[in-house]
Structure 1
Amino acid sequence: MIGISIVSVIVLLGVLIFAHELGHFLMAKRVGVGVLKFSLGFGPRILGRKIGETEYLLSLIPLGGYVKLLGESPGEELAEEDRKRSFTTQTVWKRIAIVAAGPVFNILLALTIFTLVNMIGLPVMTAEVGMAHPGSAAMESGIRAGDRITAIGGKSVTKWNEISEIVSKSNGKPLLITVQRDGLPREITVTPKAMKTRNLFGEEVESFKVGISPSPHTVVQRLNPLSAFGEGIRQTWMISKLTVISIVKMFQGVISPKTMGGPIFIAQIAGAQVKEGIVPFLLFMALLSINLAILNLLPIPVLDGGHLLFYGIEALTGHEVNLRWREMAQQVGFAMLILLMIFVFMLDIERLNIKFINDFIRTFTG
């Protein structure tokens, strides 16, 4: 299990990092900026080859990567013929494009994975009723276990999530539900009831329900390329929105920071997903790719979002942010990133449930 987890997390992070750095690399090439290094990983070089002006590297620590651009560092001495190809001499919009391309490629990777998985096929819950709960609106209206819902509120349905979505958006208005029972169609009117429930973040919310649960039966849904792409866009948007909301909820204190995970936690999940099959592993990769993109867009210095913040200010004011201020912000951002890495690593160790390490950590954290 440990071996599978290690290999799977290396593959997982390798693909995510490659996609991210490839975005920076291709956009830099597109706008005419020289690229000196393209590295998967940090630290000492394991393998490397120079093609043209670019040195392609595989480095020891597989927790990140980087693209070194010509003239990237302020004050870097350049030959006169290289100045036009220097990163710092480009217009602010070209610099924004280069920096933003990394997260954009992670989003595109997720979209590609979702599209592929939708073509391979995903198990979905059918529209068959598994249970009508006692005392519920559905039971009172005559819906029974085994009924197959074919339409609700005037809309045809084939999947359970379509039913849930229509009911939750009903605002308590009566719904005409068409079911197949014993091979015959029946029409039943049900009025959803407002109920207190917990959302994904553990918050108590009001939701409309009719009191039915799905049967355990699933079918594999395979989509044609165009439909798979459209569904992929919807899934990418849904996960992106959920990720942003989760970050906001964490700052609001609704979600505990202890829900975060580091490399060890990711490796454990990746290993478990690989054992389930290629599709669960690919879905986990898509989820992480979106997370990587959005986290990189946070306006924290040293992250892509921090650079975009400075370039955005420059675009609005027409002046670069003072170099000294930028350097100070980078140092603060780097310190924040290191502290965050230490925090999630300690959480990972806690999850391993190794007693002597837990005791050691609690000695210092109380």
Structure 2
Amino acid sequence: MVPWVLAFIGFASLVVLHEAGHFAAAKAVGMRVERFALFFPPLIFRKQIGETEYAIGAVPLGGYVRISGMSPAEDLPEDVRDRAYHAQPVWKRIVVIAAGPLVNLVIGVVLLIAFLWLIGPPTAISDRVDEVVPGSPAAGVIEPGDRLVSVDGVRWSPQTLSAVIDGHRCPLAVPLQNCRAAEPAELVIERADGSRKEIELTPTYDAVTERNRVGFRYGLDREPIAFGPAVIRGLDASVRLARLTVELPARLFDPVQRAQITGVVGSYETTRQAIIKAPGDVVFILAVISLSLAIINLFPFLPLDGGHIFWAIVEKIRHKPVPLATMERAGVIGIMLLIPLFMIGFYNDVGRLMGEGFSLR
């Protein structure tokens, strides 16, 4: 199956499970669910089963569960009003709204633990080539699985051999992108079958990293962690990722951190490339995305889940419903705060795609 389809399935699964949390909780407390939808309208598929319509939208940016009476101003038939969202006690509403982020939170933690336990974090740089950059000096000469034995007669660690390659400098006083070194590097490589080959490659200058390279990437050695320590490290990593997500709005004011913000397109592209180049990393990436979805959805702004929870708590404190106009005005403010975050993420994503910034090289 092609990588973009697998990446799409991964994202869609996180959305479906999030909405399934809302759906199951709403059914459990007796609310009437009108629609369970994957993606946003216009709808391209719909099927009525019982009192609920199951649908698929054309805009793949999320999903939603429509519960009767989500808006206090909604006009409902008499036989539905006692099962409407706003007719329920505050605790039931909070349970239903919190169920979606809770599902993503649990999925994220479980995936992180599974990644550490079954796959393991990187422990060292491998001495085997993992990827060859198309169009580079190494393309068509070095192959994935080859081992770099020596460079210019030097035998040592992958880092040392990379430093020797970098020592072959571009002759220009101010080097330009892809400027060729004055002299070639002499490499000895060992093929996957054990045979050795001597080759000459002329490094070129990479203006992004400011290094001279021949165009390959080492793999990473991984070591799975025992289950107990994996649980502890997984929980610790989840807390740190949650903290980073909470701090996301503050990153808008730091130019360096702002440039690192990633949106839906970037997350999808990172997943797609991981499927191609490092399948084990897909588990980690989906864990991070799931945790981020959980935390972002708990931001206290309508129409996010956190906004609904916030106003339900305010209603409980006031002992009376919050005026619809108040929630709507606050919702507009919340949307205005969130729009820059998503726009910057989208802008960064497009910029990386145009500049191949998502490459794992």
Band the TM-score falls in, shorter-chain normalisation = 0.5 to 0.7
Rounded Cα–Cα distance in structure 2 between residues aligned with 1:247 and 1:337: 11
Rounded Cα–Cα distance in structure 2 between residues aligned with 1:52 and 1:227: 46
Match of 1:65 in 2: 63
Would the aligned equivalents of 2:11 and 2:268 in 1 still touch at CA under 8 Å?
Answer: no
Q: Tell which deviates more after alignment, 326-335 or 27-36.
A: 326-335
Task: Supply the AA of the counterpart residue of 1:107.
Answer: L
Q: Cα offset for 1:255?
A: 5.5
Q: 1:257 to 1:22 in 2, by over 3 A?
A: same
What is the CA deviation profile of residues 72-125 of structure 1, one whole-angstrom value per residue up to 9, with x for unaligned ones?
Answer: 222222233322211110111111111111111110111221233344231453
Rounded Cα–Cα distance in structure 1 between residues aligned with 2:63 and 2:315: 27
Normalised by the length of structure 2, the TM-score is: 0.65
Within a 5 Å distance, the mapping from 1:186-201 to structure 2 comes to none
Q: In the alignment, does 2:346 pair up with 1:326?
A: no
Match of 1:20 in 2: 18
Match of 2:265 in 1: 264
SS of structure 1 residue aligned to 2:79: helix
Rounded Cα–Cα distance in structure 1 between residues aligned with 2:233 and 2:79: 48
Within a 5 Å distance, the mapping from 1:22-61 to structure 2 comes to 22-61=20-59
Would the aligned equivalents of 2:69 and 2:84 in 1 still touch at CA under 8 Å?
Answer: yes
Task: Supply the AA of the counterpart residue of 2:332.
Answer: Q
Q: CA RMSD in A?
A: 2.8
Rounded Cα–Cα distance in structure 2 between residues aligned with 1:217 and 1:343: 32
Rounded Cα–Cα distance in structure 2 between residues aligned with 1:304 and 1:258: 27
Runs of 5+ unmatched residues, structure 2? 125-218, 356-361
Q: 1:353 to 1:21 in 2, by over 3 A?
A: same
What is the CA deviation profile of residues 222-243 of structure 1, one whole-angstrom value per residue up to 9, with x for unaligned ones?
Answer: 534x665454333322322343
Rounded Cα–Cα distance in structure 1 between residues aligned with 2:298 and 2:231: 25
Rounded Cα–Cα distance in structure 1 between residues aligned with 2:48 and 2:231: 37
Would the aligned equivalents of 1:42 and 1:64 in 2 still touch at CA under 8 Å?
Answer: yes
Q: 1:31 to 1:248 in 2, by over 3 A?
A: same
Would the aligned equivalents of 1:123 and 1:220 in 2 still touch at CA under 8 Å?
Answer: yes
Would the aligned equivalents of 1:40 and 1:64 in 2 still touch at CA under 8 Å?
Answer: yes
Would the aligned equivalents of 2:105 and 2:291 in 1 still touch at CA under 8 Å?
Answer: yes
Rounded Cα–Cα distance in structure 1 between residues aligned with 2:261 and 2:73: 38
What is the CA deviation profile of residues 206-226 of structure 1, one whole-angstrom value per residue up to 9, with x for unaligned ones?
Answer: xxxxxxxxxx995522534x6
Match of 1:288 in 2: 289
What is the CA deviation profile of residues 242-287 of structure 1, one whole-angstrom value per residue up to 9, with x for unaligned ones?
Answer: 433x426526648632221223322321122112343201110000
Rounded Cα–Cα distance in structure 2 between residues aligned with 1:108 and 1:56: 25
Match of 1:223 in 2: 226
Match of 1:232 in 2: 234
Q: Which has the higher helix share?
A: 1
Task: Supply the AA of the counterpart residue of 2:305.
Answer: D
Match of 1:297 in 2: 298
Runs of 5+ unmatched residues, structure 1? 127-215, 355-366
What is the CA deviation profile of residues 298-349 of structure 1, one whole-angstrom value per residue up to 9, with x for unaligned ones?
Answer: 1222111222221121122212222111112223333444444333222222
Pick aligned residue for 1:92 from 90, 93, 100: 90
Q: 1:292 to 1:221 in 2, by over 3 A?
A: same
- Number of aligned residues: 262
SS of structure 2 residue aligned to 1:23: helix
Task: Supply the AA of the counterpart residue of 2:16.
Answer: F
Identity over the aligned pairs, expressed in percent? 31
Match of 1:313 in 2: 314
SS of structure 2 residue aligned to 1:39: strand
Rounded Cα–Cα distance in structure 2 between residues aligned with 1:38 and 1:324: 27
Task: Supply the AA of the counterpart residue of 2:111.
Answer: I
Would the aligned equivalents of 1:9 and 1:266 in 2 still touch at CA under 8 Å?
Answer: no
SS of structure 2 residue aligned to 1:65: strand
Normalised by the length of structure 1, the TM-score is: 0.64
Task: Supply the AA of the counterpart residue of 2:307.
Answer: G
